[in-house]
Each structure stands twice: as C-alpha cells, then as structure tokens.
Structure 1
Amino acid sequence: MDERIDKIIASLKEVYDPEIPVNVYDLGMVYSVDVDENDTANVLMTLTAPNCPAADMIVSDVEFMTKKVDGVEDCKVEITFDPPWDKSMMSEEARLELGFM
C-alpha cells in the first residue's frame, strides 16, 4: 500500500465536523482514499446529512489537509450518499467518545 495513503488518513483525522467532536475519518465519513499516477489524491466521502450546513468547509478542510502530505500534488474530493452515512459507520473509538456504546 502507498505510504501516502496512511499519511493522508492521519491528516484526515485532524478534520472535524464542526457539529460533532470527532474527526471525519473516525466518524466513518471517508469511504476510500487513493493516489493516482499523477500524485492526485482521490477521496470518496459522505456527509452526516445531505443538507449539512458545513459541507463546503469540511470538503475544503479535507482538500487542504490532504494536499499537505508529501508527494501529493492535488486532491479531488467526491461526495456520495450511497450508502448514506449512519452511526454504525463510526469507529469504536468514535462511538465511545459520543456515548453510543
């Protein structure tokens, strides 16, 4: 596996949904991360709700933090709602943090 992906994931753990005190990765909002032959990171993710008022800010933060990783020249974020996000997608740590265990 490309070590940049691990570094991207670590960076995404610094991006928070402003309404929830857990990072987007542990919330289960990031479905996939890859880096193509042009050193462009492709992040497939969702939002906790289709009408999320912080959507633009979250996407911007994901792009910014991903581009900070050495060896990543660009970042493309694709938002999908298939499958729609639900609480079962959260990491165990996130569920503990939010009291869902």
Structure 2
Amino acid sequence: MNETETKQANEVMDALESVIDPELGIDIVNLGLIYGVEVEGTQCTITMTLTTMGCPLSDMINNDITQATESVDGVESCDINLVWYPIWDMTKMSRFAKIALGIHG
C-alpha cells in the first residue's frame, strides 16, 4: 500500500467503529473482529471474523461494514474476507469493550 492507501485504510478502521455488533452493543473494531484492512486503488478488502461461526446477523453486519467502508473518500468497493482463524476470543477485545461489557482482567 502506498501512503494514500495507508491513510485510507486508517480512515476505514475509524469508519468501522460505527458498525455495532447487535448482540453485544459494541463496535466491531473494539471487539477485535477486524484482523486487517487493505486498500488497493479504489478497492478495500476487510479481513475479519465474527464472535460465533453461526452468527445469524452476519448479513446485516456485512451491509453496515460495506456502507462504512465506502463512506471513505476514494474507496468505491468493499470485499469482506471472513476468516475463522485465528479464532476470536475475549482477549482480542479492547480495554474499552471489556469495561463496557463488565469484563475485568
């Protein structure tokens, strides 16, 4: 990624903080669900996971992710690369998310 694409990737991460996991009520960035953001030209690829493999809300979250990503200047399309490894667990959550959910440690 060049400097502009790196800046856009950072802006995408910021925009993704507006995408709330409906089950937990915390954004997907602070939950640690986003494993990577890569911008190449006008295309953005988000590598991420979900808290559970059978998450029934994945379509809704995908739409929110696409809208947030495409709101960044210069990004015209979004591919979501859903992965199950590394497996998500609570250690991937930010301190903010842990406090919000009442988890200590």
With normalisation by structure 1, the TM-score equals 0.94
| Corresponding residue for residue 86 of structure 1 | 89
Q: Calculate percent identity across the aligned residue pairs.
A: 35
* SS state at 1:60 partner: helix
Question: 2:14 aligned with 1:10, yes or no?
Answer: yes
In the alignment, structure 1 residue 43 sits paired with structure 2 residue 31: no
Deviant stretches of 4+, over 4 Å = none
Deviations 1:20-71 (A, max 9, x none): 11100100000000101x3201000000000001011111110111001001
- Which ranges of structure 2 fall in alignment gaps of 5 or more residues? none
Counterparts of 2:78 and 2:98, CA distance in 1: 29
2:38 and 2:61 map into 1 onto residues whose CA distance is: 19
> Alignment length, in residue pairs?
100
Gaps of 5+ in 1: none
| Structure (1 or 2) with the greater strand fraction | 2
Residue 98 (structure 1) aligns with = 101
